[in-house]
Chains A and B, each alone.
Chain A
């Protein structure tokens, strides 16, 4: 079955420390992977995507993600966390249905950055 998983409901990190938000996927064919962020009572904002090419993808607000094909993972990272990074983060993957494709989203990981 095609799916995406975010194994952590919440990640806590101190400001200035590196952060990692985990994502694993299961798809048929080449994976197309995305990260989004959601602030309270707001829509989702696109951060970055992996289609092909370099395994390290750089995105908005200093975030990057590392694609690992052997581990079927696409973890979101940032070298130095800010309090303002506190938000809900979603990983998404393109899945193929019969005759069409859509994005399916993980359940989300709440990132809390403490001062």
Chain B
């Protein structure tokens, strides 16, 4: 069966510090991978998604970036955190599919990382 891991579970970082959140998936090959942010107001915002190694689409221009160094690893980074970066960060995976197919499949979410920027 497939599992998805995220770490760390919680993180408190000062403004201006760097960030690295990691997501890994087990039990599937070449998944589509997604990063979302959920703010306190509960809405889910898609940040990045990837259909393969090195293939990443950015949905929202901001001080965050994503990388996919391995097939089942997805990393969310920032060089300098802002207060507005606080939130609940969720990684998700879905069955493989190129860009036009990515929205057809259900997504499976990790447990999330609670980030507080102080």
Q: Which residues of A contact B (CB under 8 A)?
A: 32, 34, 36, 41-46, 49, 51, 88, 90, 94-96, 99-105, 107-108
Interface residues of B in 1-50 (CB under 8 A from A): 41-44, 46, 49
Shortest Cβ distance from B10 into A: residue: A41
In the complex, are the beta carbons of B106 and A34 less than 8 A apart?
Answer: yes
User: A104 vs B34: C-alpha distance in the bound complex, in angstroms?
Assistant: 12
Q: How many angstroms between the C-alpha atoms of A15 and B101 in the bound complex? A: 39
Across the A-B interface, give the 3 residue pairs with the lowest CB-CB distance, nearest first.
A43-B109, A100-B99, A94-B103
Q: Does B107 contact A (CB under 8 A)?
A: yes
B106 touches A49 (CB 8 A): yes
**A88 and B43 alpha carbons, distance in the complex (Å):** 11
- 6 pairs across A/B with beta carbons < 8 Å? A41-B88, A43-B111, A44-B107, A44-B109, A49-B106, A99-B100
- The interface residues of chain A lying within 8 Å CB-to-CB of B42 are 88, 107-108
Could you list which residues of chain B lie within 8 angstroms of chain A, going by C-beta atoms? 41-44, 46, 49, 57, 59, 88, 90, 92, 99-104, 106-112, 114
Q: Among B44, B112, B114, point to the contact of A90 (Cβ < 8 A).
A: B44
Counted as pairs of residues, one from A and one from B, with CB atoms less than 8 Å apart, the total is 62
Tell which of A44, A46, A103 touches B46, judged by Cβ atoms closer than 8 Å. Answer: A103
CB B94 to nearest CB in A, in angstroms, measures 9
* Assembly CA distance A46 to B57 (angstroms): 23
List residues of chain B with CB within 8 A of the CB of A101. Answer: 99-104
In the complex, what residue of chain B is closest to A35 when comparing beta carbons? B106
Residues of A within 8 A of B100 (CB): 96, 99-101
- Across the interface, which residues of B come within 8 angstroms of A34, CB to CB? 106
Minimum C-beta distance from B112 to chain A (A): 5
A47 CB to nearest B CB, Å: 9
Residue of A nearest to B110 (CB): A43
Contact B114 A41 (CB under 8 A): yes
Q: Are A41 and B106 in contact (CB under 8 A)?
A: no
For B112, list chain A residues within 8 Å (CB): 41-43
